[in-house]
Chain A
């Protein structure tokens, strides 16, 4: 067995990115994700990579766009207000069909908000912070180990589907340390015949561009892109089920909220309440089928979130309004404790008995 080492979630992302073949990091510091940049600043020069602290978030995302167009595995990382600034670039990257890897270690918002953990960028990540018809693959790690494994997965998926993969973490998972191994790193490589690598006068030049002034051409591009997104939705959904076999109350939670929810589900079981947990690992594509299937079995859903209720809309859509869905939340940097979630589980149980 590979050695277990203690690492912060943010450091695990940086190390995993390097192992996944990322040699280009462009960023701008912001709490609570600065350890990613610090790690890259230390490591990249030693392995022939590029670490560049740009003059702004907007500059850094456009550097990502450029390096991605040239065919490199490239990433940037930031926290909520910084991701807002990067959103224009994310739209251009989507419109140009190039792969990119982006990390959002969320903090409380809106505006400059606070620096404590949050999940209030769910809408921004899953519904598109930038303009236009586009999607990003959104991965929600719930442990330091997953910060690493989903980083590798994110690079692979981005290359496979020519789109942005985003890690949507939060300040807690970014800052905490847990034991981690890197034994399961599986790097997939994809040919990039579209990349801007120089023609050497031996081939027709490639074009990476998001400007299509002819509406029929732009429509076709969007149709093609959504065909690809459909394949992602069919093949790349990831989630974890915990005690769902005979559950009557289904808690749905991701990231740090899922860890709190797991404690609450275990506590509910001790009191004889049949609770279970569905933990989406991909937020887009959302595990619709798992939620729809659970709806046939459970009496009610509870969405546990560190925001004012964002994922709850996707749960309602997936459950097709067949079961009540209630919200159990804290926001602004606060985290619900297991007792609050347990109380919500009991209330849901009572409400339907």
Chain B
């Protein structure tokens, strides 16, 4: 019985909620129990945005995450705010294009991914969020990379089908980053 609590945080506009939706749908398609809880209100308008995603074999209790297993930090304030809340043995993903600071904790796995730079290089500058997601999938075998395209297709309106390909490009870049 496994439960993974994932906290994604960054600026409003970085696709934080979309990245969370991606993970939630990925879990849904793998028959997991899931919950997705966004921050809402004034902090979304140009301030910080965050999103709580829980993937579990069991029904999800509280959807509110206080001690994440996985933290994805897309800006410095988010990293500073949440770094100490991650459980020992947890994972922290850092967009190292935007965050030059290093994590000083030694009891967590830290992954530095220059996601914003990579997204720019891949010609998908707005999809740094999905580059990060690609790397998250790589390190979490319970969320296999299989079925990723079907997940993205669920998220993208049928009228914008070309976005599936662009999202896949970003996800693959993240997955392949060493």
Contact = CB atoms under 8 A, between A and B. Distances in A.
A298 B25 CA distance: 41
15 contacts: A6-B24, A6-B34, A31-B40, A32-B40, A115-B42, A172-B64, A175-B37, A176-B36, A178-B60, A179-B34, A259-B62, A260-B62, A262-B62, A266-B61, A339-B66
Interface in B28-82: 28, 33-38, 40-42, 60-64, 66
B151 to A, nearest CB: 11
Contacts, number: 61
A178 B34 contact: yes
B21 interface: yes
A177 B41 contact: no
A179 B28 CA distance: 7
B141 to A, nearest CB: 22
B33 A179 contact: yes
A338 interface: yes
Given A6-B25, A176-B63, A260-B61, 14 more contacts: A6-B21, A6-B28, A175-B37, A175-B38, A175-B40, A177-B21, A177-B35, A177-B37, A178-B63, A179-B34, A259-B63, A260-B64, A262-B62, A337-B64
Contacts of A4: 28
A136 interface: no
Contacts of A332: none
Contacts of A96: none
A318 B40 CA distance: 37
Give 4 closest A-B pairs by Cβ, nearest first. Answer: A177-B36, A263-B61, A176-B37, A260-B62
Nearest to A337: B66
A263 B67 CA distance: 13
A335 interface: yes
A171 interface: yes
A335 B64 CA distance: 9
B43 to A, nearest CB: 10
A32 B60 CA distance: 22
A24 B24 CA distance: 32
B28 A172 contact: no
Contact of B37 (A6, A172, A179): A172
A31 B41 contact: yes
A172 B63 contact: yes
Nearest to A341: B62
A116 B36 CA distance: 16
Nearest to A175: B40
Interface in A28-43: 31-32
B30 to A, nearest CB: 11
A115 B40 contact: yes
Contacts of B64: 172, 256, 260, 335, 337
Contacts of B24: 6, 177
A178 B28 CA distance: 9
A115 B62 CA distance: 20
A259 B66 CA distance: 14
Contacts of B36: 6, 176-178
Contacts of A175: 37-38, 40
Interface in A262-296: 262-263, 266
Interface string A8-20: 0000000000000
Given A6-B21, A32-B40, A177-B35, A338 B28 contact: no
